Amino acid sequence: MNTSQMLAALRAANRVAADALKLGKHPFGAVLIGPDGDEVLMEQGNVNTVKHAETELARAAAAQYEPEFLWQCSLATNFEPCAMCAGTIYWANIGRLIYGVAEESLLALTGSHEENPTMNLPCRSVIESGQKDVAVFGPFAEVEAETLQLHRDFWV
Question: Taking the model in full, what pTM does it have?
Answer: 0.93
pLDDT of residue 117: 66
Instruction: Write the pLDDT tens digit of every residue in 27-52.
Output: 999 999 999 999 999 999 999 989 99
Average pLDDT over residues 135-154: 92
Handedness of CA 138, 69, 56, 133 (dihedral sign): negative
Among 126, 76, 123, 130, residue whose Cα is nearest residue 102 = 123
